Amino acid sequence: MSTAGGITMTDTEREAALDLARRLSAAIAAGDRDALRAIYAPDAVIWHNTDDVAQTVDQNLAVQAWLAQNMTGRRYEDVRLQATETGFVQTHVMRGRRGDTEITILACIVVTVAGGRITRLDEYLDSAHLAPLLA
């Protein structure tokens, strides 16, 4: 068990948070909206630095559906994952294609987990990397 800032997470909870992170990446890469819905708490908030908008689960699932239609061969590479006292932090490179164009998106997500589900996800990425996807 570890303690920081008055919050305590057991080793089992930390491993569960890391497993949740792996399931999240797999669901996004596969375009599996049902799996994503099960991973998110019903009232989860998903925020992106590129637009400073907090999305609901349904809004995020719509974005994920668009991504599945517009970026083929999605995969996560160079994944670095660290459990935190409230969830996990992950950096990664998402790669895929839009037509003949290779897409590379470097990202960092800071995730809060409660009750085995994601309650908040803050995603940080460089908007310049999105330009080929949005063209």
pLDDT tens for each residue of 90-106? 999 999 999 999 999 99
Which CATH architecture does the domain made up of 2-134 adopt?
Roll (3.10)
Of residues 3 and 125, more confidence is placed in 125
What the block records as the tokens of 70 is 């517009």
Range 48-75 average pLDDT: 94
Compute, in degrees rounded to 10, the torsion defined by CA atoms 50, 108, 23, 98.
50
pLDDT at 3 over 50: no
**Mean of pLDDT over the chain:** 91
Q: Name the percent of the chain lying above pLDDT 90.
A: 81
